[in-house]
Amino acid sequence: MRLDEEQESQNVEDRRGFRVSKGVAGGGIGSFTTFSTWILDSHRLADAGHIHLVWLNLGLSLVAGFAAVAVGHWLGGAV
């Protein structure tokens, strides 16, 4: 393998890794805003005295989140 080919191969790997890390970083930052909004909404419901809606909001969100993880895991295994 020539030096140029080896260097080009390394550059392609670096670019792919960079794209993946940008996607992971974006997802990580996005999860903070999603979590903040979820907790803020729950807090506002609690302040308004709607305790049953707080539990419904928290419970359904957790169930939907774990269901999404299970479906993603299942779909990932099918690929």
pLDDT at 40: 94
Segments of the chain scoring below 70 in pLDDT: 1-20, 23
Domain boundaries, the chain: 3-78
pLDDT at 26: 75
List % helix, strand, coil for the chain (3-state, nearest 5): 90, 0, 10
* pTM > 0.75: yes or no: no
pLDDT at 19: 64
Token pair in block for residue 48: 């308004």
pLDDT at 28: 77
Token pair in block for residue 24: 């992971």
